[in-house]
Amino acid sequence: MSTISMNRLNGKTAVITGGATGIGLAAAKRFIEEGAFVFIFGRRQDALDAAVSDLGPNARAVKGSVCDLADLDRLYAAVKAERGTLDIVFANAGVGSQLKLGEITAKHIDETFDTNVKGTIFTVQKALPLMGQGGSIILTGSSAGTTGAPAFTAYSASKAAVRNLARTWVEDLKSTGIRVNVLSPGAIATELATESLGEEGLKAYGSMTGFQRMGDPTELGAVAAFLASSDSSFMTGSEVAVDGGLAQI
């Protein structure tokens, strides 16, 4: 890694939801390597504790759910108390599970949209009072939001909604100097993907990419750092696909 890239996020403060594992943790590591101070937010205290131990002194953890507005208030109160302002929000928390058409339940839809859509909206909305000129908002989309995926009706629809949030917020944020972009993974070997697909499913999914393998969360973390930095200063409303070509071919 070059000296320039190591310092891209020097002095910046970031919030990463779903930051204790997978893509969120990989992004937290990369942000800190590049000079940021990071608050990770998640539901499992044991995972948060392990992540902070791994990340070191420039990380803090706040336990909570993006579905709970009071939890989000506590998160941003902690950021304000320690850092004063906020530069980067990576709204990464998400859920997804398979249910075929004909088996979909109201509970399944509510759980998916509460986290992936409502949670994303309020993660961003509640952060805005702490953000200003040069701020960067990154939303986690998915290749499934473009291509669809068998038995992932609710998940695919929720990620298509996330893509449209960025397009809409470009207009809403025009006068603020805050950018918003979507980072869309595809076949990435995360804990969520393993739970949803199983080991054999992961192999089959990876074989569909242009590289015939699953991606690593660190490959997403690198692109998240680019979107968080001023290197992407003329990008807003964009979707960056880090999917091995899955949704492109």
pLDDT at 2: 44
189-245 confidence digits (pLDDT tens): 887 777 767 778 778 878 888 888 888 999 999 999 999 999 999 999 999 999 899
What are the residue numbers of the active site? 155, 159
Task: Note the pTM of the prediction, 2 decimals.
Answer: 0.94
The confidence score (pLDDT) of residue 150 equals 86
**Can you give the three-state secondary structure of the chain, one letter per residue?**
CCHHHHCCCCCCEEEEECCCCHHHHHHHHHHHHCCCEEEEEECCHHHHHHHHHHHCCCEEEEECCCCCHHHHHHHHHHHHHHHCCCCEEEECCCCCCCECCCCCCHHHHHHHHHHHHHHHHHHHHHHHHHCCCCCEEEEECCCHHHHCCCCEHHHHHHHHHHHHHHHHHHHHCCCCCCEEEEEEECCECCHHHHHHHHHHHHHHHHCCCCCCCCECHHHHHHHHHHHHCHHHCCCCCCEEEECCCCCCC
The superfamily in CATH containing domain 3-241 is NAD(P)-binding Rossmann-like Domain (3.40.50.720)
